[in-house]
Amino acid sequence: MKKLVGITLGIMTALGGFVDLGQIVFTTQAGALFGYRLMWAILLGTVGIIVYMEMCGRVAVVAHEPVFSVVRTRLGFRLGLITLIASNLLNLITCAAELGGIAIILHLLTGWPERLLLVAATLALGTAILLLNFEWIERTFGLSGLLMIMFAISAITLHPDWNHLARALLPTHIPSTSSRQVLLYAYFAVGIFSAMLMVYEVHFYSSGAIEEDWTTKDLGENFMVSSLGSLLGSLLTVALLVLGALVFQPRRIFPETLSSTIVAGAFPFAQKALVVCLLGALACIAGAAVETALSGAYNICQFFNLEWGKNRSAKSVPVFTAAWIAMFALGMVIALTGVRPLQLVNISIIFGMLIMPLTYYPILRLADDKNVMGTHVNSKFVTVIGTLFLVLITIAALAAIPLMILTQSGTP
């Protein structure tokens, strides 16, 4: 049973992190513009998140330090506080976008007013978190998110060119038609890479490892869960790219709404699969909203060394409880202003790159510290791979804002 719970943690982390509102639309748009050409960015992001998610879980188990405890001790109070503020602003923006996405899907399912559904959905999610312990939150949102497999079934049914897809795993097909196309290609490459390495994934995952009382005996499970969960999220991301390439690119359509991308998931089966696709997207987006709200609360309490934990009573961890409730409440207020969820997504994906080096660098340092990690310290291979990815993350962070400005947030 403990292994099953661990697997659901990996599933929820991957689906809520990989296949949230931003990834669903952003990756489909990339496929609509460039076909399979950005498949290499998905592969790169998958390897990167596996390496760092495994490290975060291992550090949490061996050193008993979740991510933001590590950030404070390794970066110092001032730089750590800047990272905390930036991370939680991004958590808030992402949570608001996910809540807006939930309202859109519920509107498509019921026809009821989006604002009413937004308030109702926020209250329902808040109630669920209040009543459920961490284990049942994982099971509920992790397993229901598996309905997204419908997108993969649809992608396979459309018979993609597997040889072309495999060749796209290497970045050898950069468009050369115009400088504008090159900039768009770079923007979507950075965006896909960023979306797969969003820091709230590792915040949630490392905190979950502590919530579940993992010990060093569970380190093998940590590797399996981080790897399998990430691979599942990666395969669904590939399916979204394929759908964009096969459904939208031949028709020269640039999907700018969540509803368009969900329709693509049901394209081969028409109405028979549409409800399944809507429910799958709803589960993943709701899982992402829960992850970002809880991650915001985890971050605050871990940084200031306050009591936290979803498995503890709400009264015994008052700051933690107030923090995740505030994340939901503020996210709902932002969404109620009428700002488009996809506008918030573009901000979160690109600005998310800026804080990744400040999150992943201290994790890499601690995981490579033999005085703390003992026999569970990084191998030389993991340290080299982690360092290479940290360099790539830093380069992408420096390029993110200029690319967003030059391409007008990826407008073709």
213 burial via Cβ count (<10 Å: 0-12, 13-18, 19+) = exposed
What pLDDT shows up at residue 146? 84
Q: How many CA atoms are closer than 13 Å to the CA of 182, on its beta-carbon side?
A: 5
Q: Going from the N-terminus, what domains does the chain have, and what CATH number goes with each?
A: 2-407 (1.20.1740.10)
DSSP state of 348: H
pLDDT at position 1 = 46
What pLDDT sits at residue 93? Answer: 95
Give this prediction's pTM: 0.94
| CA dist list (Å): 181 to 33, 69, 333, 411 | 9, 42, 37, 11
CA 270 to chain centre: 28
| pLDDT value at residue 343 | 87
Residues of the chain scoring pLDDT < 70: 1-18
119 and 332 in contact (C-beta within 8 Å)?
yes
pLDDT at 173: 82
pLDDT of residue 11: 60
